[in-house]
A and B are shown apart, each in its own frame.
Chain A
Amino acid sequence: MKFRNTERRETIVLQMTPMIDIVFQLLVFFVFTFKIVLPEGDFNIRMPSATASESSQPSETPLLKVRLQANDEGDLVRVQLGDLVLDGDAPFHQLQSQIREMISDDAGPGSTDQEVEIEADYKLKYRYAMNAITAITGYVDSNGDQHKLVERVRFAPLAEK
C-alpha cells in the first residue's frame, strides 16, 4: 500500500488585501454618491429698497406683473400674467411658455432687461412663489441644459394682510 506524500501538497493562499482595498474604495464611492438630500441652490435677486431703485435705474421696458392668488389655506387659486389669466392643469408651465414667447430668448442669455414683479397673496404657500420664480427666470430644455429668461425678478411691495 502506498501512502500519499502529504507534505508535498501546496497550500494555496489567496491574496485578500487588494480585493479588500478595492471593495472599500467602491464602498466609499457609493456612500458619497448616494444622495439622501439633494443639494441646495439659490435664486439671486437684487432688490434695493424702492426709493433707491427708482432714482438709479429708470426702466425702459414696461414692467410685467405676475399675480398669484391664494385661498385661505394658502393654496394657489389663480395665476395671472398682466391681464391674461392662466388656468389649466399646469399654470406655471403656461406662464413659462408665455414668457418665452414674449422674451424670444434666441438672442442668447441676458438679451433682455425685462423686469417682472411678483404680486402674491400673503397666505400663499412659498413653494408656489418658488414655482413662479422658476418659470420666470428660466427653463431646462430636453437636453438638460439651463436657459435663462428674465433675471430681474422682484416682489411687489407688501399690501396689508
Chain B
Amino acid sequence: MLRSGGLNTGSSDLLSARRRGSVRLAGAVAVAITGLAVLGRNSDPAGKPLPAAVTLGAAIALTGNANLYGQDQRVGLELAQRWFASTPHPRPVRLELEDGASDEPSAIAAFNLLIGRGVIALIGPTLSQQAFAADPIAQRQGVPVVAPSNTAQGIPQIGSFISRVSAQSSVIAPLSLDEALERDPQISRVAVFFAQDDAYSTAETAIFQKALAERGLTPVSVQRTQLADNDFQNPITAALQQKPQLVVISAQAVDGGNLIRQLRELGYRGQIVVGNGLNTPNIYPICQRWCDGVLIAQAYSPDLNTPINQTFRRLFQDANGNRTPGQITAQAWTAYQVLFEALQRLQKRGEMDGVTLGEARRRLMQEVLAGHYDTPLGPIHFRADGEVVQGRFYVAEVTMEANGRHGSFRLVRSFDVDSDAGGPTP
C-alpha cells in the first residue's frame, strides 16, 4: 500500500489524529526536557561536598599534531604528581589525564568530561588556539584553569578563573633577536618564515616582525608555510634569492625542525632565530646536526641553580635516561605545583573543610592568584588577571653533539624582566 506524501490528504479524521499525536509528542518532549534538567542539576558536581581526595584534571594533547608537546607535558605532570605526593601534605591530590588532542572540539570535550567528573581545577589545554575555545567553558562553570603552555596574547583575559604559568611570547620572543644582532651588528637582510595555519605562530611572527621594525629592519622575504608541510624547497629557494643574513622562524617543532634542516642543506649559513614552538628537545632528532647554533628565547633554563630545579632535573633524568628537560615539561610541572601548593595552603588554614566543590574551586582560584611560588622556572607569582609574573628569561643556543643525535639548549644569556613595567634588561 502506498502512503501519501502530499500535504492535503482530504481526510479530517486523519488531520485531527495527527493533531492529537503532535500534542502528545510535544508533551513527552517537555517532560523529558524537564526531567533531564532536574537530573542535570542533581548531577552537577559543583553542588556536592568536596571529596577527601581532590582531583586535578589535565587536558593535554596526547594525539594529533601537537602531541609532541602533550607528551612532554604528561612527563612533567606525572613527575610533579609523584614528587609532591611524596612530600608531607595535609590533603591528598589525584591527577586525571584526558586527551585534549590537537584541535578545539577535542579540547572542549576533554574540559567538559573532566568538569563533569568533578575535578577541582584544570591544567591545559596544550595550544593557545584550543584555549580560546575551551577556557570559556571552564570560566562559565567556575573551574580554575592553569595553562602550562598557552603563550598567545589574551589568554588570562578570557575570564577570572583563567591563569597561566607560560609567559606571553611578546615578552620573550624579541630577546633572541637582540642576541643575534649583537653577534652580527651588520645584519640588514632578514627573512621571516611562519606557519600561517597556526594561531600561535601567526601571533608570534607579528611580535617578531614588530621587534624587527623597532630595530630598523624590514624583512626582505616573508614566507608562509603550513603545519603539515615537510618539504620546504619552494619557500626556501624563494627566500634565499633575497640573500638573507638572518632567518626568523615561527613554527611548531616538526615543521620548524624540517625547515631548519632544509635551510642548511640548501646552503643558508647565516644565523637562525626560532620562536617558542621549537622550544622542545624533540627538534633534535628532526634537524639533527643542522640544529646547531639556532638561537631561542626561553622561559626555562635547565641550568637554573635552585633546589626545586635541581630536583626537577634529577627526577627527569632518572626517568628519561639522562636527557635534559625542556621548557614545556618544566611548565607542566609548574602548573601542577601551583595548584598543589595553593590547595595545601587552603587546607592548612581549614578553608577546604565542609565546603562544596563549587566553593572550593572559587577559593582555590583566589589562592592561586595570591600565592608566590618557587618553581623550576624560577620564582613566579600572578597578576590579578591571572597573567604570570616571571622575573627571569633566557636566551639559549642549540648545541648538538658530534653524532648529531643528541643536543642541548646551552644557556647564552639571562635577562631579568619586570613584566609589570615592560621591557627586559640583560
* A-B interaction: no
